[in-house]
Amino acid sequence: MNSTALWLAPVAHSPASRSSLFSGQPHERFKPLSWLAGRGTGTQPCHQADVPRALRAARPAAPVKRQATIRIAWGPMDRSQLARLLLVTSILYVIGFYFIGSALKPGYSQLSNFVSEYNATATPWAGTLTYAGFLATAALLSCFLVAAAPLAQVSGVSRLGFWLLWSVPASYLLGALFPCDAGCPAEGSTSQILHNALSVLAYLGMGVGVALVSLAPGFSSFKLRRAFMLLTGIAFPVVFVAMVQPDLAPWRGLLQRSLDAALAASLILLVFTILAPGRRTPQGVAQQFRKETG
């Protein structure tokens, strides 16, 4: 008998099986375990159904292995990334709004016309630019401030400055609620008077807000960034007074847009300087280690 083979008890007896016992060859009803496993005899492994139930029960249990499964669920971006995305989207949207609006309105010049004249009363495309331009921009900038507010590392006067930045979306909102008359004169309809008065408050709020935010502790290591934002804050009231002067009327549009560009740069410096990294939401990226037995 082959020492490496374990013989099984016969399942049934017949003359043929008894004759094969004395022939020295294993009968088909007496198969070694090596045949069952497909090793050593060259035969093909049998199907599990061919293995007697008692043999299957006698098999040693598979060793218990403890496995660690890593599950990674990809979710939304964190809050700081969302704030930066909303800011970049707002800036790009404003740029598109300015250029498309100037292309739509006959005789409009970005060098000499105020931004408020995009939707001046009784002018072409006023209604479309009110909703698609001013209101949409105010909504985007408001979403940015909502996303950034919990992450802004401000305190004291810099916290006040951050809240004054709500003057930025408010300036576009007042342009939608109180459109100016054609030419945006110093005097005119009730809407024009309210527009002028609220514009003074909005520009003052934007300038003071940018200047105070630059005093946040996070800017102490970035002297140039702080200096740029301080100068931007000081420039707001100065340039505002300059652009309403009659002698500078041919350039008032350029002056106003220069403030917009400085404001956009200041907001970019803000989000990359004093905006703390936000934690991911519970539906965000999470790694769970679960121990299983198998």
Q: What is the pLDDT of residue 63?
A: 57
- pLDDT above 50: residue 57: yes
Mean pLDDT of 41-49: 51
SS3 for 49?
Answer: helix
| CA–CA distances in Å: residue 257 to residues 54, 56, 99, 220, 253 | 89, 84, 12, 29, 6
Mean pLDDT of 263-281: 85
- pLDDT above 70: residue 30: no
Q: What is the pLDDT of residue 50?
A: 53
Q: What is the pLDDT of residue 47?
A: 53
Whole-model pTM? 0.69
Q: What is the maximum span of the chain, computed from C-alpha positions, in angstroms?
A: 126
pLDDT in tens, 201-220: 999 999 999 999 999 999 99
- pLDDT above 90: residue 292: no
Q: What is the pLDDT of residue 276?
A: 83
Quote the Cα angle for 247-133-147, to 5°: 110
Report the mean per-residue pLDDT for the chain: 81
Structure tokens at 142: 């408001």
Q: Compute the distance between CA of residue 231 and CA of residue 236 in angstroms, rounded to an integer.
A: 9
pLDDT category of residue 284 using cuts at 50, 70 and 90: very low
Q: Compute the distance between CA of residue 101 and CA of residue 115 in angstroms, rounded to an integer.
A: 9
Chain-centre distance for alpha carbon 282: 15
Pairing of strands 66-73, 286-293: antiparallel
Lowest mean pLDDT among 49-53, 80-84, 150-154, 164-168: 49-53
Q: What percent of the chain has pLDDT over 90?
A: 67
For 5-8, the CB contacts below 8 A with 24+ separation are 5/32, 5/33, 5/34, 5/40, 6/32, 6/33, 7/32, 8/32, 8/33, 8/52, 8/55
pLDDT in tens, 216-258: 999 999 999 999 999 999 999 999 999 999 999 999 999 999 9
- What sign has the CA pseudo-torsion 127, 132, 133, 136? positive
- Listed in sequence order, the residues at least 6 apart from 152 whose beta carbon sits closer than 8 Å to its beta carbon are 159, 162, 216, 270, 274, 275, 276
Contact present, 147 and 199 (Cβ < 8 Å): no
Q: Which residues pair with 70 in a beta bridge?
A: 289
The residue ranges of every structural domain in the chain are 15-60, 79-273
Structure tokens at 293: 């037995």
pLDDT category of residue 137 using cuts at 50, 70 and 90: very high
Contact present, 213 and 167 (Cβ < 8 Å): no
Structure tokens at 236: 């707001």
Q: What is the pLDDT of residue 145?
A: 98
Q: What percent of the chain has pLDDT over 70?
A: 68
Cβ neighbours of 179 (radius 10 Å): 26
Q: What is the pLDDT of residue 61?
A: 57
